[in-house]
Amino acid sequence: MSPDPVPAPAPGQDPAAAFRDAFGAEPEGVWHGPGRVNVIGEHTDYNDGLVLPIALPQGITAAVSRTGDRSVQVVSHGRTESAAARFGLADLAPGSVTGWAAYVAGVFWALREAGHEVGGARISLTSDLPIGSGLSSSAALETAVAVAVTELYGLDGLRADLPELARLAQRAENGYVGAPTGILDQSAALRCVEGRALYLDCRSLAARNVPFDLASAGLRLLVIDTRVHHSHAEADGGYRVRRAECERAAKILGVPALRDVEDLAGALRRLPDPVLRDRVQHVVTEIHRVNATVGLLRAGAYAEIGTLLSMSHLSLRDQFRISCPELDLAVETAVAAGARGARMTGGGFGGSAIALVAADRLDKVREAVTAAFRRQGWTEPGLITALPSPGARRVDA
């Protein structure tokens, strides 16, 4: 969610070799936390709604060893620079570690707050997740560290309880880092499986794996990183404001969360503030779009989800108002060049868009989007195709 937990990506770096460089010894193990793309269901998670993410092959890798004491040393290896941080477990409190290392410290803090005792660690981080791209490098980092530490310290019950581990990683982000985010990113990073999307109820945390074999339908999911960065942790940031608006609307409507709005027209009539009406309209219709998308995927009607993706974008742009010119241009250009549908993905105000594209039009869409950004004098967008991949796991065993 946040822009940039690790300084710079270093594709191809060997995690164990990076650990040896940093600490002069072999790591006890290597774990990987993936980035994610949310296919649809945006800003619904903290409204107790539904989401549909996939995990990416790209992510953050943590090579880790236990220390004999209560200290944590973290080195993050970038392409051109490395960064290091050190903290003690005894005096961990929100704010005691800042910057990218706060996501690591937050996991140790959340473990302790939940009553799980762990000791210190040496952690070496490498990443191939495009930086600041809205593909949730923060959850990738939190979950890589969480699965590593729970395994190394024998917290087998917690390691196996992925909904609880996701809650714990979310608590690290909410309570330690100070970003008021929902459960989407951590759930995606922990609970996704290869070839499938995760249909998650953010209230009960019940989840189903839904077929997401786009290739079987001759389709690809293109991720367009606009290179516009945004932090959701800012005190007056748009993310925090949107969340507060949704909570205010739910209160006025007398429902626990916007997910509970059953009669949208009636709810809109009862809200005096046009801004709140727009927010409610987005959340309620977006939850319907998630269900409709799942229905189409289960029926194998992959190409048909394109319309829902594009409708989601319009709702995020016009009702939720979290798009930006770069995201809008990416979406409009992709569709004009033949994409079946496109939308911004993630928290908004920058980050990435996704486009559903027939395999034989992929190059055309890529070229069109790159040319459109160039014409505006903007930094060229980053382009990858998203492959539904497994959640956080040990990768050296």
Task: Please tell me whether residue 221 binds ligand GAF under the rule CB under 6 A.
Answer: no
Task: Please tell me whether residue 341 binds ligand GAF under the rule CB under 6 A.
Answer: no
**What would the two tokens of residue 101 be?**
């290392």
Angle between helices 137-152 and 162-171 in degrees, nearest 10: 120
Tell me how far, at minimum, the Cβ of 353 lies from ligand GAF, in Å.
Answer: 14
CA distance 345 to 115: 35
Tell me how far, at minimum, the Cβ of 69 lies from ligand GAF, in Å.
Answer: 33
Tell me how far, at minimum, the Cβ of 314 lies from ligand GAF, in Å.
Answer: 16
Which stretch in 39-47, 117-125, 145-153, 300-308 sits in contact with ligand GAF by CB under 6 A? 39-47
Q: State which residue, 284 or 337, has the beta carbon closest to ligand GAF.
A: 284
Q: Which residues are catalytic?
A: 185
CA distance 377 to 382: 15
Q: State which residue, 46 or 87, has the beta carbon closest to ligand GAF.
A: 46
Which residues have a Cβ under 8 Å from the Cβ of 373 and sit 6 or more positions away?
A: 326, 329, 330, 379, 380, 381
**What would the two tokens of residue 165 be?**
């581990």
Tell me how far, at minimum, the Cβ of 349 lies from ligand GAF, in Å.
Answer: 10
Q: State which residue, 37 or 329, has the beta carbon closest to ligand GAF.
A: 37
Angle between helices 238-253 and 274-298 in degrees, nearest 10: 100
Q: State which residue, 240 or 393, has the beta carbon closest to ligand GAF.
A: 240
CA distance 364 to 190: 34
Tell me how far, at minimum, the Cβ of 252 lies from ligand GAF, in Å.
Answer: 21
Task: Please tell me whether residue 347 binds ligand GAF under the rule CB under 6 A.
Answer: yes
Pick from 45, 225, 304, 326 the residue near ligand GAF by CB under 6 A.
Answer: 45
Mask for 46-65, x = binds ligand GAF (CB under 6 A): x-------------------
Pinpoint the alpha helices (H) of 153-183: 156-160, 162-171
Distance of CA 96 to the CA centre of its chain: 24
Q: State which residue, 139 or 334, has the beta carbon closest to ligand GAF.
A: 139
Q: 198 and 204 in contact (C-beta within 8 Å)?
A: no
Q: 108 and 169 in contact (C-beta within 8 Å)?
A: no
Task: Please tell me whether residue 182 binds ligand GAF under the rule CB under 6 A.
Answer: yes
Q: 209 and 193 in contact (C-beta within 8 Å)?
A: yes
Could you say which DSSP state residue 214 is in? G
344 SS3 class: strand
Which stretch in 41-49, 107-115, 192-200, 287-295 sits in contact with ligand GAF by CB under 6 A? 41-49
Q: 155 and 202 in contact (C-beta within 8 Å)?
A: no
Tell me how far, at minimum, the Cβ of 170 lies from ligand GAF, in Å.
Answer: 8
Task: Please tell me whether residue 106 binds ligand GAF under the rule CB under 6 A.
Answer: no
Summarize as ranges the residues that interact with ligand GAF (CB under 6 A). Answer: 1, 38, 42-43, 45-46, 136, 181-182, 184-185, 232, 346-347
